[in-house]
Amino acid sequence: MTMSIEPTTATLGATVRGVDLQALNETDWAAILAAFHRHALLIFPGQGLSAAAQAEFARRFGDIEVLVQNLDTIPISNRGGLDGAPLADDSFHMQLLRGNEGWHTDSSYMPIAAKASVLSAQVLPATGGETEWADMRAAYDALDAERRAFVDGHRAYHNYFYSQARIGHAVQAGQAYGFYEGEPPLRELVKIHPVTGRPSLFIGRHACDLPGMSAAESERLLDELMAFACQPPRVHAHAWTPGDVAVWDNRCLLHRARPYDHRHARAMLHTRVRGDAASEAALNAAA
């Protein structure tokens, strides 16, 4: 079996075929890691990993960020279980899924933002429910002088309570998932990638409240920046087939789920790789 790595036509992403993620040799792993740093998103069709095998693959990128109930890999599903009943629309988990339909980067609202995420597809609706990624390296490169001066000089808080409130979900303190309830993390709008050294925009739906600006002005400026950033050729969507696996670099991409009819089941498995304190800690994180 010969591994092939085929870039998409967008500025990010590549499809990797001819490799079994459960039987990687060191040469192929080195090529995958190099491709991950270059393309920031890798899609592996037809791997059919179990949750345990997915966690094992994720662990190659770093330590797992445990999100809930000591699970390495969590279901991102609109059913109670894989064949379970639909979740109530106002349930915490359904609101979380709706939140995923907005551009974001994982765990930016935590004191240490995520490094990478691995997502695989198990059950899919007939239409919709793709996942889409946007390249914040290319977005930074495309900024005009005025926008570049603005982002170089500003920071934003990243706040899950803010982003969920914006979609009508009033998150209560002490709810599931251990969301961080201290002062929201403060982060630069420009992030330097710890491996490649490339600058990228670090924004998304959790970003808000630029110090020195009103909440409304922050929201307007960040919305405008996100609309500019998340445009072709900087976006790539993947229409899933069950068994596909994707891994992406949260340090330089945004992602979102595309809408679908929530009366139909959609079940994914998610494993999150913890960021490094040296590069992913918030500016206001306790030392």
Instruction: Using CB under 5 A, list all residues that contact Mn ion.
Output: 106
32 binding partner (options Mn ion, ligand OGA, none; Cβ < 5 to 8 Å by kind): none
- The minimum distance between CB 97 and Mn ion, in angstroms, equals 10
- The minimum distance between CB 97 and ligand OGA, in angstroms, equals 7
Which helix H or strand E contains 157, and what residues bound it?
strand 155-158
Between 28 and 106, name the residue whose CB sits nearer to Mn ion. Answer: 106
- The minimum distance between CB 154 and ligand OGA, in angstroms, equals 25
Long-range Cβ contacts of 276-280 (<8 Å, 24+ apart): 276/62, 276/112, 276/115, 276/194, 277/112, 278/194, 279/192, 279/194, 279/251, 280/112, 280/113, 280/114, 280/115, 280/251
Q: d(Cα 184, Cα 158) in Å, to the nearest integer?
A: 6
131 binding partner (options ligand OGA, Mn ion, none; Cβ < 5 to 8 Å by kind): ligand OGA
Between 147 and 272, name the residue whose CB sits nearer to Mn ion. Answer: 272
Between 109 and 199, name the residue whose CB sits nearer to ligand OGA. Answer: 109
Q: d(Cα 188, Cα 162) in Å, to the nearest integer?
A: 18
Pair 7, 35: CB distance under 8 Å? no
- The minimum distance between CB 238 and ligand OGA, in angstroms, equals 9
207 binding partner (options Mn ion, ligand OGA, none; Cβ < 5 to 8 Å by kind): none
Residue ranges in contact with ligand OGA by CB under 6 A: 76, 100, 106, 117, 119, 131, 255, 257, 268, 270
- The minimum distance between CB 264 and ligand OGA, in angstroms, equals 14
- The minimum distance between CB 105 and Mn ion, in angstroms, equals 8
Instruction: Supply 171's token pair.
Output: 């998150």
Please give the full DSSP string across 82-134, using - where no structure is assigned. Answer: TT-PBPPTTSHHHHHHHHTTS-B-TTTTSSB-EEEEEEEEEE--SS---EEEE
Between 115 and 147, name the residue whose CB sits nearer to Mn ion. Answer: 115
119 binding partner (options Mn ion, ligand OGA, none; Cβ < 5 to 8 Å by kind): ligand OGA
Between 113 and 210, name the residue whose CB sits nearer to ligand OGA. Answer: 113
268 binding partner (options ligand OGA, Mn ion, none; Cβ < 5 to 8 Å by kind): ligand OGA
For residue 165, count other CB atoms closer than 10 A to its CB.
13
Residue 285 burial class via C-beta count within 10 angstroms: exposed 0-12, middle 13-18, buried 19 and up: middle
Between 75 and 185, name the residue whose CB sits nearer to ligand OGA. Answer: 75
